[in-house]
Amino acid sequence: MQTATPLHPTRATPRIAIVGAGLAGAACARTLASSGAQVTLFDKSRGIGGRLSTRRTVWTDALGVEQPVQFDHGAVGFEAHSLAFQAVVQQGLADGWIAHWAAAGGDHFVAVPGMPALCHALIGSLDVHVHTGEPVTGLHRIRGGWQIERNSGLWPGRFDQVVLALPPAQAAPLLRPHATGWSEAAAQVPMQACWTLMAVTDTPPGPAFDLLQPTRGPLASIVRNDRKPGRQTTPGHAVWVAQASAAWSASHLEDHPAGVSKALRDALRAAINPGGEVRWCHSTVHRWLYARPARVPLGTPGCWWDAARGLGVCGDFLVGAHAEAAFLSGLDMAHAVLSAPATRRTAGSGAARFART
């Protein structure tokens, strides 16, 4: 159901639109909403989470019974080095929506029961309006504010500020009419693609493993998804997420999915049962065009913010090539918005809860 924002507002609460409900958008929304802003999140996908994603589907076993299965086909896990993100992780561990993924080595974590749970938890208890399932196709300046356009038309109502929390290539066309320099800079950010294989097999012989990072061949990482904390298991079967390397993905970017699937299944079979066969119960591939930034930014701020126009940009690409970078960029974005005169008057203490360190 759409909740209209009045065109002639009667109160001073800042109304902020965030386009993109991945971790950067969710972190930004959390800080802004807990500081008293009226936040509306838009995302083109069916749900929130962005590249922190879990695909749920079913496969049919030998007896014709449908078996549910889930694949964390974006980020397989994440680390927390900053105090701000560690605070979120500690909260998640205490509440049960984050688990320590000890088998991955080091301090790796996963969200439970699926990766989007992290974004859901960040905004869950707050009054954030979330609208999914349709891309934002345009931003329009009106009377010192903004209107949002989607395929279905103009969103009813006006926003004081707009934040784009998108991969740079997807932010660029929305920025072009309003901030040419930012649009060009965003369009030039190199992003790595990633072909990802999701498969169910019979449990292979030999010792079980949780994570392999091959140094040769098409695959860069192989994860036993059903051995991660809080994931579904099916006795006698193994659930795999296998990610191709950036180099292999780039050189096969436009290949037909059937050919990609065969190449990645051959590589997975060679890794999990060398010299032997594997029985495939289910397999599919997904192509991430914008998986991760190719280079860690040098000296750029954690977000872009034009206070005069009330326009901002955040996302992992402004901080690093990992989930925590997206969180920190979203946090920086919220603090920049809250420091603007239009928002400062209603800012509360919530903004400091995950102050970036």
Ligand X SMILES: Cc1cc2nc3c(=O)[nH]c(=O)nc-3n(C[C@H](O)[C@H](O)[C@H](O)COP(=O)(O)OP(=O)(O)OC[C@H]3O[C@@H](n4cnc5c(N)ncnc54)[C@H](O)[C@@H]3O)c2cc1C
Residues contributing to the site for ligand X (CB under 6 A): 19-25, 42-45, 50-52, 74-78, 135-136, 165-167, 170, 194, 196, 243, 288, 291-292, 315-316, 322-323, 325-326
Nearer to ligand X, 99 or 194 (CB): 194
Question: What is the nearest approach in angstroms of ligand X to the Cβ of residue 291?
Answer: 4
Question: What is the nearest approach in angstroms of ligand X to the Cβ of residue 135?
Answer: 4
Question: What is the nearest approach in angstroms of ligand X to the Cβ of residue 3?
Answer: 17
Nearer to ligand X, 314 or 340 (CB): 314
Nearer to ligand X, 123 or 323 (CB): 323
* 332 vs 302: CA distance, rounded Å: 6
Question: What is the nearest approach in angstroms of ligand X to the Cβ of residue 237?
Answer: 23
Question: What is the nearest approach in angstroms of ligand X to the Cβ of residue 330?
Answer: 7
Nearer to ligand X, 36 or 110 (CB): 110
Question: What is the nearest approach in angstroms of ligand X to the Cβ of residue 136?
Answer: 4
User: Amino acid identity of 114?
Assistant: G
Nearer to ligand X, 158 or 322 (CB): 322
* Residue 59, SS3 per DSSP: strand
* Residue 112, SS3 per DSSP: coil
Nearer to ligand X, 30 or 44 (CB): 44
* Residue 157, SS3 per DSSP: coil
Nearer to ligand X, 115 or 338 (CB): 115
User: Residue 215: which residues within 8 A CB-CB, separation 6 or more?
Assistant: none
Question: What is the nearest approach in angstroms of ligand X to the Cβ of residue 53?
Answer: 8
Nearer to ligand X, 45 or 57 (CB): 45
Question: What is the nearest approach in angstroms of ligand X to the Cβ of residue 276?
Answer: 28
- The full 3-state SS of the chain, as one line of letters, equals CCCCCCCCCCCCCCEEEEECCCHHHHHHHHHHHCCCCEEEEEECCCCCCCCCCCEEEEEECCCCCEEEEEECCCCCCECCCCHHHHHHHHHHHHHCCEEECHHHCCCCEEECCCCCHHHHHHHHCCCEEEEECCCEEEEEEECCEEEEEECCEECCCCECEEEEECCHHHHHHHHCCCCHHHHHHHHCCCEEEEEEEEEEEECCCCCCCCEECCCCCCEEEEEEHHHCCCCCCCCCEEEEEEEECHHHHHHCCCCCHHHHHHHHHHHHHHHHCCCCCCCEEEEEEEEEEEEEECCCCCCCCCCEEECCCCEEEECHHHCCCCHHHHHHHHHHHHHHHHCCHHHHCCCCHHHHCCCCC
Nearer to ligand X, 9 or 301 (CB): 301
Place of tokens 């896990």: 77
Q: Quick one: CA torsion of 350, 351, 352, 354, rounded to 10 degrees?
A: 100
Q: Determine whether 6 is exposed, middle or buried from the number of CB atoms within 10 Å of its CB (0-12, 13-18, 19+).
A: exposed
Nearer to ligand X, 226 or 316 (CB): 316
Question: What is the nearest approach in angstroms of ligand X to the Cβ of residue 165?
Answer: 5
Question: What is the nearest approach in angstroms of ligand X to the Cβ of residue 193?
Answer: 9
